[in-house]
Amino acid sequence: MKCGSCVQAVEKILNNHPSINNASVNLVTKTAFIELKELNNSLTDVIQTLSSKGFPSKERDYQTISNNIELEKNENQNLWNKWRQLIIATSLLILSGMGHLVEGQQISIPLIGSLPFHAALATFALLGPGRSILKAGLKSAIVFSPTMDTLVSLGVMSAYLASITALIWPKVGWPCFFNEPVMLLGFVLLGRFLEERARVNTGTALKELAKLQPDTANLILENNEIREIRIGALRPGEKIQLLAGDRIPVDGLVVKGNSAIDISSLTGESLPLEASPGVELPSGSLNLESTIILEVQKIGSETAIAKIISLVEEAQARKAPIQGLADKVAGIFCYGVTTLAFVTFLFWWKIGTKIWPKVLEVSNTGFMQSHHLHDHLINTTQTPIGLSFQLSIAVLVVACPCALGLATPTVITVASGEAAKRGWLFKGGDVIEMASKINQIVFDKTGTLTIGRPLIVGFWEHKDSQRNEMLRLAASIEQDSRHPLAQAIIQEAHKKEIRLEKVNSSTTFAGKGLAGKINNVEGCIRVGTPEWIKSEGVNWNEIIEQNFILSKRKSQSVVAVALESTLLGFFLIDDQLRKDALLSINKLRSRGFSLSLFSGDRDSAVLSLGKKLGFSSKQIEWQMLPSGKLNKLNALKKNGLVAMVGDGINDAPALASADLGVAIGTGTQIAQDSADLVLLGENLEALPNALQLSREAMLKIKQNLAWAFGYNLIALPIAAGLLLPSSGLLLSPPLAALLMALSSISVVFNALSLKST
């Protein structure tokens, strides 16, 4: 595919195929994302149909790292082929220029400068570097799917055939344009090379992600022997060894060892993940400190890095709605340009030169027109038909559906790739466009604005006890419990490096607490609800009661600790606010977003959190069921487009219903599947940054479309000779080719500038 017309042609072929419901084609990645009517439908017939219409195709399988290396080799080979064609075309241009100097008697080289010499150069240019363009253009014309190659082919062949006719039968009085095919192909191939080189750079982010997966892994055999094998040979349940500095090749569970793991390449998190037995690690992350043993859980296309790559590729294939107009225009563009070129030829041949006879003299010194050194080669433009040929060829060549076709997909490709590098996964170009239009954001509380797990946020200890002693006794008796509140106490003890004692005996009282005995401590230890502790005969006075009431106001949960009949104190346990939540909320407010907070938690907890983050009472809803969140969200849609940010199963309906569903990557899988944008890691500041990226991307797209449409609106009339009668301004075909190439290149480079914003 070369231009927007190609995209329209391929989509038309695919959408008309009986096996396909819908298709979306990306010019930059040269891929088609199709929705089959039945999952077991074969793609063989689809591929054959495309190939027969001039678009050779093959099925895109899951890309392992080896495939990506092969893909990169193919890209480099393609770039080298274009470079080789450009070198040959440039050499021909130099020879053509030398011929003009010989003709002007500036230099003296035998055989160079004659008309047959220039005819031979033009013939060699067509059969050599121009052959692929002519072949593709002719094939597209035969199946009535004209492309940019068709326009260039028509321009080049018109000039060549007219020149050959004039050379063989001089009596026809036509001009010779043998220098035009050489110059046209030279500038077109220069543009193609620069465009391809820039286009390769648009996919660098995705390639960098693919390279995060190593080729081999150290497999631990049954006899503890270690053998290096390909990652494709690994199977779930097997164990691999990871040394410091190794990339993790698969998703796995740490079974032995402790280390720090750099996951910044996947989630954007700057702080490393502390890996210990029982911790799951994603593929693509980096082992920083020491050797660990990993049990393989997911391989191939099921790994975290593979899913990210798949999501990014899907995002690049799914179009933004704004691209629809450009594709429609590009689809009919070639027909319109061909018609304009024909009308231009007829007008200047039969009408224009009679109305303004002076244009034949003016055009001889027109803009970038031929000089006296090679007047006889092109016979100047002193005849009506000569001028008509030049203007119609310029119209064919200056037109650029490439810029229209590249305007949107280049930006979507760069934006989605850059976002993925930072841990933000947009699920389509349409999602990027929607994200740029959002003006209302609804937040879930637990796991979204908070970290989603209870932690100790405060203490109240009896004056006769010590805080660390209370923590040691409670954590020791709770160390085998899986209750979230018990885990909060144990985590706090580990944080303070308190050594836990062995449990001698323990009894769990469902919904109340736990009682038991530990080594080196006489008496029964009770940890549980204050009401239960009080009912067990523990001394409870007015001061304790007052502090209990105060503690309830400060936190979501209060856990009491007692030794025999003496109360040691209270743990104040609550879900903590994400460290960057306030900063993120303030950023969004400053950018004009209307914010709301929905939660299923009790009113006091939600109102307390809302107050910390600056929400008014009208912006907060509590004790909401999933259906309630959905109904309230739909009501907000009356005021504009709404984004829903959540992480749990209960958020899935609202995430799916919102104009933009945003899932926090630490949340449930169903929330991530229901969302349009997934923010990996625990960094909430990714939300305002991702929304800002989407706005910058849409600005780039609008700039590209404005340039692509504006260029053609200005260039085509000038090429057709609009300014020739009044100002003598005339675009020669070579200059038209150069302008066409520059228009495409400028669109790609504007998209690449998104990387630096």
| E strand residue ranges, 27-80 | 31-36
Residues in the chain: 757
Please indicate, yes or no, if residue 420 is contained in any of the structural domains.
no
Distance linking the first and last C-alpha atoms of the chain: 29
Residues 6+ apart with CB under 8 A from 186: 86, 89, 90, 92, 93, 125, 734, 737
487 and 433 in a common domain: no
Cα dihedral sign for 550, 551, 554, 557? Answer: negative
Q: How many CA atoms lie within 13 A of 189 on its CB side?
A: 32
Under 8 Å between Cβ of 25 and 11: yes
Same domain assignment for residues 514 and 570: yes
Maximum distance among all Cα pairs of the chain, rounded to whole angstroms: 123
Residue 380 within a domain: no
Token reading at 114: 């004659």
Q: Note whether 655 and 538 are same-domain residues.
A: no
The boundaries of the domain holding residue 594 are 425-450+578-687
Q: How far is residue 489's CA from residue 475's CA, in Å, rounded to a whole number?
A: 6
Task: Give Cβ neighbours of residue 617 (< 8 Å, ≥ 6 apart).
Answer: 607, 610
- Per-residue pLDDT at 173: 65
pLDDT band at 436 (very low <50, low <70, confident <90, very high): very high
Residue-wise pLDDT tens digits, 48-84: 889 888 888 888 765 444 445 555 666 677 778 878 8
Question: CATH number for the domain including 14?
Answer: 3.30.70.100
User: Are 464 and 571 contained in the same domain?
Assistant: yes
In the chain, the amino acid numbered 100 is H
Q: Is 246 a catalytic residue?
A: no
Cβ neighbours for 192, distance < 8 A, ≥ 6 positions apart? 82, 86, 741
Tokens found for residue 322: 């704004």
User: Is 675 domain-assigned?
Assistant: yes
* pLDDT recorded at residue 703: 93
Pairing of strands 513-518, 525-528: antiparallel
Whether 206 has a pLDDT exceeding 70, the answer reads no
**Is the pLDDT assigned to residue 679 strictly greater than 60?**
yes
Determine the Cα–Cα distance for residues 315 and 694; give it in Å rounded to an integer. Answer: 13
Query: pLDDT, tens digit, for every residue of 622-664?
Result: 888 777 888 888 899 889 999 999 876 667 778 888 899 998 8
The answer to whether residues 442 and 584 belong to one domain is: yes
730 contact partners, CB below 8 Å, separation of at least 6? 362, 363, 366, 367, 368, 369, 381, 390, 391, 721, 724
Do 458 and 536 belong together in one domain? Answer: yes
Nearest CA among 624, 263, 576, 583 for reference residue 644: 624
Residues 478 and 551 in one domain: yes
- Same domain, yes or no, for 440 and 463? no
Which pLDDT value is given to residue 169?
Answer: 85
Distance CA 137, CA 126 (A): 13
The mean-pLDDT minimum among 80-84, 289-293, 594-598 falls in 80-84
Q: Is residue 404 part of a domain?
A: no
Q: What is the pLDDT of residue 524?
A: 92
pLDDT per residue as tens digits for the range 315-372: 666 667 777 767 677 667 888 888 999 999 999 999 998 898 888 776 654 433 433 3
Q: Evaluate whether 200 touches 182 at the Cβ level (below 8 Å).
A: no
Distance CA 144, CA 125 (A): 26
Q: Is residue 410 part of a domain?
A: no
Q: Is residue 133 one of the residues assigned to a domain?
A: no
Q: What CATH number does residue 626 fall under?
A: 3.40.50.1000
Q: Yes or no: say if 531 and 538 are a contact pair by the CB < 8 Å rule.
A: no
Cβ 176 vs Cβ 115: under 8 Å: yes
Euclidean distance between CA atoms 125 and 131, whole angstroms: 8
Statement: residue 563 has pLDDT above 80: yes
Q: Which residue has the tokens 């308190």?
A: 498
Question: Are the C-beta atoms of residues 449 and 536 closer than 8 Å to each other?
Answer: no
d(CA 652, CA 75): 41
User: Does some domain include residue 192?
Assistant: no
Identify the weakest region by mean pLDDT among 348-362, 369-383, 417-431, 530-544.
Answer: 369-383
How high does pLDDT run on average in the chain? 81
- Residue 623 and residue 555 share a domain: no
Residue-level pLDDT at 366: 40
How far is the C-alpha of 127 from the C-alpha of 334, rounded, in Å? 24
pLDDT band at 214 (very low <50, low <70, confident <90, very high): confident
Res 310 pLDDT > 90: no
Scored b (16 or more CB within 10 A) or e, 309-338 reads bebbbbbbbbbbebbeebbebbbebbeebb
What share of the chain has pLDDT > 70, as a percent?
86
- Residues 454-481 pLDDT 10s: 888 888 887 666 788 899 999 999 888 8
Q: How many CB atoms within 10 Å of residue 467?
A: 14
Q: Which among 486, 520, 491 is positioned nearest to 503, based on CA atoms?
A: 520
Same domain, yes or no: 460 and 571: yes
Residue where a domain terminates, one of 652, 672, 687: 687
Q: How many helices (H) and strands (E) does the chain have?
A: 29, 24
Q: Considering its fold, how many domains does the chain have in total? A: 4
As a whole number, mean pLDDT of residues 98-105 equals 66
Q: By the 8 A CB rule, do 163 and 119 touch?
A: yes
Domain C-terminal end among 577, 612, 641: 577
For every residue of 280-316, DSSP letters joined together read EE-TT-EE-SS-EEEEEEE-GGGSHHHHHHHHHHHHH
Integer Cα distance of 242 and 489 in angstroms: 32
DSSP 451-509: EEEEEEEEEEE-TTS-HHHHHHHHHHHHTT---HHHHHHHHHHHHTTPPPPPEEEEEEE
Residues 460 and 564 occupy one common structural domain: yes
Here the tokens at position 503 are 């449990």
In this prediction, residue 65 carries a pLDDT of: 41
Compute and round to an integer the Cα radius of gyration of the chain.
35
Beta 594-598 vs 620-621: how paired, if at all? Answer: parallel
Write the burial class of residue 173 (CB in 10 Å: 0-12 exposed, 13-18 middle, 19+ buried): exposed
Contact present, 293 and 256 (Cβ < 8 Å): yes
Q: What is the C-alpha to C-alpha distance for residues 20 and 38, in angstroms, rounded to an integer?
A: 8
Q: What is the pTM of this model?
A: 0.70
CA distance 102 to 108: 6
> Are both 468 and 564 inside the same structural domain?
yes
Q: Do 423 and 680 touch, CB atoms closer than 8 A?
A: yes
Q: How far apart are CA 672 and CA 308, in angstroms?
A: 12
CATH number at residue 490: 3.40.1110.10
Domain membership of residue 740 (yes or no) is no
Domain stops at, among 244, 267, 302: 302
- pLDDT reported for residue 597: 93
> Which of these is catalytic: 149, 327, 430, 444?
444
For residues 641 and 659, the answer to whether their CB atoms sit within 8 Å is yes
